[in-house]
Amino acid sequence: MKRLEKGGYALVILYVMLPERDGFEVCKLIRKTSQIPIIMLTARGDVMDRVVGLELGADDYLPKPFEPRELVARIQSILKRSAHQTHQPHKLCFGELEIDTGMKRVVLNNQEIHLSTMEYQLLEFLAQNAGITKSRDDILNALKGVETELFSRSVDIAVSRLRQKLKPLEIIKTIRGSGYLFVGNLS
């Protein structure tokens, strides 16, 4: 954690079964102060463990055994998305909500909102497509790409967490049977 605070890292690969505190706890601590991408590795491949890891803010979760090339591909994919977003500085303003795509920062009512990388990417994707209903598949493809094994339920979980963090603002609507709609207007 001390090294991470000093900066200079592009991504964290976090093992779940650490000796002093588990990776889930460390992930929570990282998310309190940083939006750095996190990939969790574990011997525990249960679906619930994966969901918990993603709910805590991990961007990806890879159970053992895995092919090292798969880990490298996932790292490259996450870094590519991060770099792409970093090179397009822009601010999206929807009333009291401001999304700074260059700094990957979200401010609501002059208060910074701390989001996981996945939550931020979800918000930015929906905001850039304001007024357009996006299906779970659209969202999964935008956030992780088609090569990644994700569950459509993880989109629902991410939307739910995002809504909680953006309260009282109700800017993401569920369109039954279709997906999600960002209802804000650029200001």
- Summarize pLDDT for 100-150 with one digit per residue, the tens: 887 788 999 999 999 888 888 899 999 988 889 999 888 887 876 533 445
Average pLDDT over residues 170-185: 90
Question: Strand 12-15 vs strand 38-42: parallel, antiparallel, or unpaired?
Answer: parallel
Q: Global pTM?
A: 0.54
Q: Residues of the chain with pLDDT > 70: what percent? A: 90
Q: Average of pLDDT values for 15-35?
A: 87
Torsion of CA 109, 112, 113, 114, to 10 degrees: 180
Can you give the pLDDT at residue 55? 83
The domains found in the chain, sorted by start residue, are 1-86 (3.40.50.2300), 88-187 (1.10.10.10)
Contact between residue 56 and residue 84 where contact means Cβ atoms under 8 Å apart: no
Report pLDDT for 87. 46
